[in-house]
Amino acid sequence: MRSFSIVFLSAAAVVQSATVYLAGDSTMAATGANDGWGKYLPNFISLPVVNKAMGGRSARSYTREGRFTEIAGLIKSGDYVVIEFGHNDGGSLSTDNGRSDCNPVNNDYSTTCTTTYNGVKETVLTYEKYIANAAKTFKAKGANVIIASQTPNNLWESGTFGYTPGRFVGYAKDAAAEAGVTFADHGIYVASLYKGKGKDVVNSYYPNDHTHTSPAGAETVARAFVLSVDATDNTLKNFITHRK
């Protein structure tokens, strides 16, 4: 009689095979010489990270270009997807740059707008709808989705510290609620770390403008993301290797 050996994998070993996918803009991206925070996330967690963030993108343009769809084709059940946009989502559709979202009317996120971009007529959704729709797609495939609030610009730029969450922070929180996924308030944790580090250190994080960070700044923002996840009940917190 042929003998069979059965190998039992622990739950931890199975989960350990999960991958973290990142969807966002240049503040997260690691393409070319850009030092977005996603480039440094592997320094803080034990799971592999696939950074699909792209500079200059908004929730709308990321959707239109099929980048959410690309991630949906890559993920497997148990993977994590982190979505963070906001820096490129503002502006007016009257001078459409292909990135601006439709503003909700009376807080109605189902509001749509019509525009013509690059000669093509386009129905534009709200930020919340773009993000919630993507999150629902990933969730349906068994992924564990985290919608993060956008990172702030240099909070010491004026010479004194100040942080007021922008409207896209609230939109991100509402998108997470609609999709039934985790909301991580990344922005407020960046603000907390920046306040503690002081003006001179934080100003050094922004060598070119008030949005894009140096490597040291990006690593600080990555740490802030880990701290924001640690404050939730999301299981990604189980893979944090250190918090400092």
Q: Which of 26, 58, 61, 149 is catalytic?
A: 26
Active site annotation includes 186: no
Residue type, 188: I
Cβ contact 95:115 at 8 Å = no
Smallest Cα–Cα separation from 27: which of 51, 1, 61, 3?
51
Burial state string for 10-43 with b = 16 or more CB within 10 A and e = fewer than 16? eeeeeeeebbbbbbbbbbbbbeeebbbbbbbbee
Q: Which of 79, 174, 185, 212 is catalytic?
A: 212
The Cβ of residue 188 has, within 10 Å, a number of other Cβ atoms equal to 17
Q: Which of 17, 204, 209, 210 is catalytic?
A: 209
Active site annotation includes 212: yes
Spatial separation of the C-alpha atoms in residues 180 and 27, rounded to whole Å? 25
Smallest Cα–Cα separation from 38: which of 186, 159, 242, 244?
186
Decide: residue 1, CB within 10 A, 0-12 exposed, 13-18 middle, 19+ buried. Answer: exposed
Q: What are phi and psi of 100, to 5 degrees?
A: -60, 135
Spatial separation of the C-alpha atoms in residues 66 and 87, rounded to whole Å? 19
DSSP state of 20: E
Active site annotation includes 61: no
Q: Which residues are catalytic?
A: 26, 209, 212
